[in-house]
Amino acid sequence: MSIFIITGISGSGKSVALRALEDAGYDCVDNLPVSLLENLVETLQTSGSEHIAVAIDARRGLSIQEIPTIIAKLKKHRSVQLIFLNATNEALLKRFSETRRRHPLSAKNLDHSQKSLIDAIDLERQMLSSLSENALQIDTSNALSSSLRQWILDLTENTQPGLTLLLESFGFKSGLPQDADLVFDLRCIPNPYYEETLRHLSGNDQEVVDFLNLQPDFEKLRQDILLFIHNWLPKYQKSGRSYLTVGVGCTGGQHRSVAMVNHLFLSCSKNQTDLFKNINCLYRHRDLSAAHNKSPH
């Protein structure tokens, strides 16, 4: 049985993620009380369901702290993925302004005071902080709904037990990814953007890859990153982590970082050594436009 638990900051895309899972054939429940999670799983499993997704938010209060314990129980006999969706305050404020929706924690408190939107967001971050540490974090600040939907669908294809290694390209000009555990900077590598024939292409295009492969430092950096992952991945596994996100950045997130992540993904996903046997390897291009987003080959 495969179970997805979607949580995170309001306005970061939980509804989009849940709809994507519903389209993928999952039985979905939104805004589920934590106390009902185990019973729901047992009931649906008894009825023959193999794929379950639930969304839980901060309105569940202190009961949210029980989720790690419940997940540990469920993981004994099932595949469980905890997904934490996040976004910058700037992005969240813009979204709430555009949709004119009220934040779920901005209602009056016990002392009858009214919370401002930014106060509600900060309170929610505080309430959910313990969950984010043990989840696969996805920063949706610069993501289109269609991109988030595809990221979630990609996750449904990698539900086997073991640590999930997510390789993420990004552009420094759009900010560091909030979900990255490690970050590598490729801005020291010659930029294909300044080659007129390559400017309109991306790191998914062979012409850009060929240009970068001619740069000795690009290959050296690729080998160094792979060596770092190979040496330190066992330490992260032993620490009990379920997810590790490696960010690879260049200036705009279009050329160098995209090509590097593709290289790293192919190297890691095709690695048949004992180290990678129980590793679920995924990739994501955060800032790459949909027109350029192709699968590595």
CA triple 130-132-138, angle to 5 deg: 170
Give pLDDT, residue 236: 87
| Residue where a domain stops, chosen among 106, 134, 156 | 156
Q: Which domain holds residue 219?
A: 163-292
Q: Are both 18 and 82 inside the same structural domain? A: yes
Q: Are both 172 and 150 inside the same structural domain? A: no
Q: Is residue 144 part of a domain?
A: yes
Tell me which long-range contacts 180-185 makes (C-beta under 8 A, separation of at least 24). Answer: 180/245, 180/246, 180/247, 181/244, 181/245, 181/246, 182/228, 182/244, 182/245, 182/246, 182/247, 183/246, 183/247, 183/248, 183/249, 184/221, 184/225, 184/246, 184/247, 184/248, 184/249, 184/260, 185/249
Q: Is residue 146 part of a domain?
A: yes
Task: Provide the pLDDT confidence category of residue 148 given band limits of 50, 70 and 90.
Answer: very high
| Residue where a domain stops, chosen among 156, 188, 223 | 156
Q: What mean pLDDT comes out for the span 251-260?
A: 98
Q: Are both 211 and 281 inside the same structural domain? A: yes
Q: Is residue 226 part of a domain?
A: yes
Q: What mean pLDDT comes out for the span 213-220?
A: 96
| Residue where a domain stops, chosen among 125, 156, 187 | 156
Q: Are both 220 and 269 inside the same structural domain? A: yes
Q: Is residue 297 part of a domain?
A: no
Q: Are both 191 and 257 inside the same structural domain? A: yes
Give pLDDT, residue 114: 46
pTM above 0.75, yes or no: no
CB within 8 A of 22, min separation 6: which ones?
28, 53
Q: Are both 10 and 144 inside the same structural domain? A: yes
As a whole number of angstroms, the distance between CA 49 and CA 19 comes to: 17
Percent of the chain with pLDDT over 90: 59
Give pLDDT, residue 66: 85
Q: Are both 201 and 133 inside the same structural domain? A: no
Q: Are both 141 and 188 inside the same structural domain? A: no
Residue 220, pLDDT > 90, answer yes
Task: Provide the pLDDT confidence category of residue 159 given band limits of 50, 70 and 90.
Answer: low
Q: Is residue 151 part of a domain?
A: yes
Q: Are both 131 and 151 inside the same structural domain? A: yes
Q: Is residue 91 part of a domain?
A: yes
Q: Is residue 256 part of a domain?
A: yes
Q: Is residue 51 part of a domain?
A: yes
Q: Are both 173 and 227 inside the same structural domain? A: yes
The enclosing domain of 69 has a CATH number of: 3.40.50.300
Q: Are both 69 and 15 inside the same structural domain? A: yes
Give the helix ranges, DSSP H, for 100-248: 117-132, 145-156, 206-213, 216-238
What is the tally of structural domains in the chain? 2
Give pLDDT, residue 110: 41
Q: Are both 201 and 231 inside the same structural domain? A: yes
- Among 24-38, 104-118, 220-234, 256-270, which stretch is predicted with the lowest mean pLDDT? 104-118
